[in-house]
Amino acid sequence: MAKKKSEDNHQLILSELKKGIYRPVYLLMGEETYYTDVISNFIKDNAIDESLRDFNQTILYGTDYKVADFVAEAKRFPMMGDKQVVIVKEAQVALNESNENDIESLKKYLEKPLLSTILVICYMNGTINRKKKINAEIVNAVSQCGGIVSITQKLYDYEVSSWLQRYLTENGLQTDQNTLQILAENIGGNMNRLANEIEKLKLALPQGEKIIKPQLVEDVIGISNEYNNTILCDSILKRNIIRANKIVAQYSKDIKNNPIFPLISILLKAFYNVLIIHYSENKQESVIAERIGVSSTYIAKNYIIASTIYSAKKCMKNIAILRDIDCKAKGINSVASMEDLYKELIFRIMH
């Protein structure tokens, strides 16, 4: 299981900011942009007193300015205050298009930044290519000058539920484990989308209510607590034939909004997990949770139960069946309708 890099340190940064601790330079990067936005927005809204922001807060865009421009802005001294904020958004555009002299000027500034300036560099949808010597020197200079480098990595599938749980807790909200899992699997690992959907649910809650219930999820986001891939996968793993066929019958009424491919992906992962359990000597829930990469022992327990229903041989057969259905759904040696493929999938896997 891959570990997160130490530069995925946004929680540390936010903790410092809430205590009023500001670094001279923030280099925020990553394919996932959620924490880059959260951190830069917090600094924008809190570092400078509102009455002084017109004088001491500047927001530049890499699409409109060159590296030399935001270096010059960072070197400026604050007016009528003890610090200024310079936020560079879409910095990757300027950095990628600048000449070596401009990049060198940035490096020299970072080696000895003004302590009265808080420079926030937002490198969106990727990271600086450190294979280039000058880029590596820039990243090192940020760390060595007392600044901080933060890379927000995309969530792995097994991390989505725990991230979502933390987000709910931080916002004073609660939900049950089943609803949490449904949200995680149906929304996916995009942090911005996860946060936006939870904010919708928060706004829809009655005043004073803190518990997100399944019906609210269905009403606001459109994810049914009765008819979705999470429940269907659970039904298949428990060999609940009646419930599985009921969900598939519902799917058949709206195939356009219920494509078969996400279900195939979920089931492939599920049967791989069950197969891992079969060949694990230690079947304690906590050990299995870590082994198969799920966020809680509650989920691990369901997989352990499934391993008593589906033998290792049947799991391998089901994986082959799923690959066969995937090919058919793509039109390879098959003209079957999606409705028929759903029925075939359920029958062959559960019998």
| Residue 335 token pair | 């003209």
What is the C-alpha to C-alpha distance for residues 284 and 109, in angstroms, rounded to an integer? 54
What is the C-alpha to C-alpha distance for residues 345 and 68, in angstroms, rounded to an integer? 60
Angle between helix axes 67-75 and 100-111 (nearest 10 degrees) is 30
- The SS3 assignment for 264 reads helix
Instruction: Supply the pLDDT for residue 317.
Output: 97
Map out the domains of the chain with their CATH numbers.
10-151 (3.40.50.300), 157-220 (1.10.8.60), 229-350 (1.20.272.10)
The string of pLDDT tens digits covering residues 143-167 is 999 999 999 988 887 788 889 999 9
Instruction: Supply the pLDDT for residue 330.
Output: 93
Q: Which amino acid is at 122?
A: C
Cβ-contact 70, 102 below 8 angstroms:
no
Cβ-contact 23, 146 below 8 angstroms:
yes
Per-residue pLDDT of the chain (351 residues; tens, 9 = 90+): 344 444 568 889 999 999 999 999 999 999 999 999 999 999 999 999 999 999 999 999 999 999 999 999 999 999 988 999 999 999 999 998 888 888 999 999 999 999 999 999 999 999 998 888 989 999 999 999 999 999 998 888 778 888 999 999 999 999 988 888 888 877 878 999 999 999 999 999 998 899 998 888 878 887 666 678 888 998 999 999 998 999 999 888 888 888 999 999 999 999 999 999 999 999 999 999 889 988 778 888 999 999 999 999 999 999 999 999 999 999 998 889 999 999 999 999 999
Report the half-sphere exposure of 210 (CA within 13 A, side-chain side). Answer: 7
- The SS3 assignment for 165 reads helix
Instruction: Supply the pLDDT for residue 188.
Output: 78
What is the C-alpha to C-alpha distance for residues 274 and 312, in angstroms, rounded to an integer? 8
| Beta-bridge partner residues of 58 | 86
Q: Is 88 exposed, middle or buried (0-12, 13-18, 19+ CB in 10 A)?
A: buried
Compute the radius of gyration of the chain from its Cα atoms. 25
| Residue 284 token pair | 């304690």
Q: Which of 312, 307, 305, 317 is nearest to 351 (CA)?
A: 317
Cβ-contact 125, 62 below 8 angstroms:
no
- 9 to each of 24, 77, 340, 341, 347, how far by Cα in Å? 17, 29, 48, 45, 47
Residues 6 or more apart whose Cβ sits within 8 Å of residue 164: 180, 183, 184, 194, 198
| Beta-bridge partner residues of 89 | 61
- 206 to each of 148, 164, 213, how far by Cα in Å? 40, 21, 12
Q: Which of 306, 34, 294, 309 is nearest to 177 (CA)?
A: 294
Instruction: Supply the pLDDT for residue 225.
Output: 62
